Amino acid sequence: MARMVRKQIVIDPEQERALEARAKALGVSQSALVRQAIDSLLQDAEEQERRLQAWERLRAGSERAARDGIGSGGLGWNREELHERGGSR
């Protein structure tokens, strides 16, 4: 096991009771449960960052496509013109 670093935290009594009960129910130490919670928090933050980066790439690509006329075949039309054509080109 990797070297552990001791940290002191302050939690409210309700959190203490819940932590103690959950650790007991899972058969793990309170410290192990806190470490698992920290790992989960960090993984969630990394996933959120990956999703944000993917969204930004998608948004930038969409803006480039709109600017360059990609996706419409270079054709410009509005809703009224589309209805006049009966939905076909």
- Token pair of 10, please? 């302050």
Overall pTM surpassing 0.75 (yes/no)? no
Coil/strand/helix, residue 14 = helix
Tell whether the model's pLDDT for residue 88 goes beyond 70. Answer: no
Alpha-carbon span 68 to 42, nearest angstrom: 39
Tell whether the model's pLDDT for residue 39 goes beyond 60. Answer: yes
How many domains would you assign to the chain?
1
Instruction: Write out the DSSP string of 53-78.
Output: HHHHHHHHHHHHHHHHTTTTTT----
Q: Which carries the bigger pLDDT value, residue 65 or residue 40? A: 40
18 lies in which domain range?
Answer: 13-84
pLDDT score of 43: 95
Percentage of the chain modeled with pLDDT above 90: 65
Residue 41 resides in a domain: yes
Residue 44 resides in a domain: yes
Tell whether the model's pLDDT for residue 11 goes beyond 90. Answer: yes
* Burial (CB count <10 Å: 0-12, 13-18, 19+), residue 79: exposed
